[in-house]
Amino acid sequence: MPDDLKSVEAFVHIMKSGSLTRAEQSSGMSKASLSRHLAQLEASLGAELIQRGSRHLRPTEAGRAFFARCEPMLVELTQRLDDARTEVQDLSAGRTGTLRVLADPQFGTAFVCQVVRLYMASYPGVHCRMDIAGMPGSLSPEEADCYVCAAPPDSQQLVLKSIGQLGFGLYASPSYLARAGAPDTPDALAEHDAIVLHDALGRGDLTLLRGRAHALIRPRAAFSTNDHWVMKTLCLDGLGIALMPDYFVQPELRHQGLVPVLPEWKPAPRRIHCAFRRQRYAGSKLRDFVDLMARCVVDIDSFNLYVGGARPA
């Protein structure tokens, strides 16, 4: 506390205690310090506040008036300092403030929303903003506290933490397979319509693995999109075969809106990353969110709760 406030605090202790000895006990300041602060305060005000006798201390009229003003001020100041200290500690501990999350489209609704729900149950004082990358008005990876992505952003300002792997598979609707037949080998995929994602995850050749065997195919794109939800909708509508994250189609598999195609042939898993500024990760608010997401990736197949319906055949 600044010297002038220390002097006011010493004066209030003396007034409330009635003696330097009792003021020393209540304040933790020595009698010498109390006397020095009182003298400094009287000098700065240009008025005597307390008359010192050999056996007593007696407030002057100015001292009583000053005490009437200062005591409630110190009580309020102490309360405000306590409130400020609590707020800073809560922010440091990750219990308040805003968490800004950016997610690739394939993770947003189907996975990250569920992680955010679990996080906010533990941190009800945190306001969360979640944007989908590439949408108008969305945060940039540098602006977000955490960017959940498959392809790491090209930014020297961000560090990456790998939180798990994402498995992919080929899927189609029963109506499409009833009409076009089910391919029995990877080479047969060349004769089928494909719904492809025109970005780094679905462009050009596709390598499928089965144990040590591998097959290189080039999908015949009947339709292309940059959105996983559009891809799944078109797949449910019977427009072709799509390569999609395994977790993303679990509800449709359970409801038989989609079925696996060549389930023993899989592309290599792809990593899921969290990108963030190193200094922000020092705070527990972000660190706890990233750690929760890494734990949730293990159970990612159970996180997609939104079921798409297939058109009748």
- Give the tens place of pLDDT for each residue, 29-55: 888 988 899 999 889 889 998 988 777
Three-state SS at 31: helix
Within-domain flag for 216: yes
The reported pLDDT for the residue numbered 200 is 42
Q: Which amino acid is at 310?
A: A
Q: Distance (Å, rounded) from C-alpha 24 to C-alpha 3?
A: 18
Check whether residue 247 and residue 112 sit in a common domain.
no
Pair of tokens at residue 160 = 């990456």
DSSP 158: -
**How many domains does the chain divide into?**
3
Check whether residue 176 and residue 258 sit in a common domain.
yes
Q: Report the CATH number at residue 23.
A: 1.10.10.10
Tokens 């007696």 appear where? 58
Q: Distance (Å, rounded) from C-alpha 209 to C-alpha 205?
A: 13
SS3 per residue for 195-209: EEECCCCCCCCEEEE
Tokens 């799944």 appear where? 232
Q: Which amino acid is at 38?
A: L
Q: Distance (Å, rounded) from C-alpha 306 to C-alpha 313?
A: 22
Is the pLDDT confidence value at 313 over 60?
no
Is the pLDDT confidence value at 309 over 80?
no
pLDDT category at 155 given cuts 50, 70, 90 is: confident
Write down the mean pLDDT value for the chain. 84
Within-domain flag for 311: no
Q: Average pLDDT, stretch 96-117?
A: 84
**Which of 44, 75, 93 is the endpoint of a domain?**
93
Task: Judge whether 166 and 269 are in contact, CB under 8 Å.
Answer: yes
Is the pLDDT confidence value at 265 over 60?
yes
Sequence-distant (6+) residues with CB within 8 A of 124 are none
Check whether residue 227 and residue 179 sit in a common domain.
yes
pLDDT higher at 34 or 201: 34
Check whether residue 253 and residue 174 sit in a common domain.
yes
Task: Judge whether 98 and 289 are in contact, CB under 8 Å.
Answer: no
Check whether residue 275 and residue 292 sit in a common domain.
yes
Question: How many CA atoms does the CB half-sphere of 78 hold within 13 Å?
Answer: 9
Is the pLDDT confidence value at 227 over 60?
yes
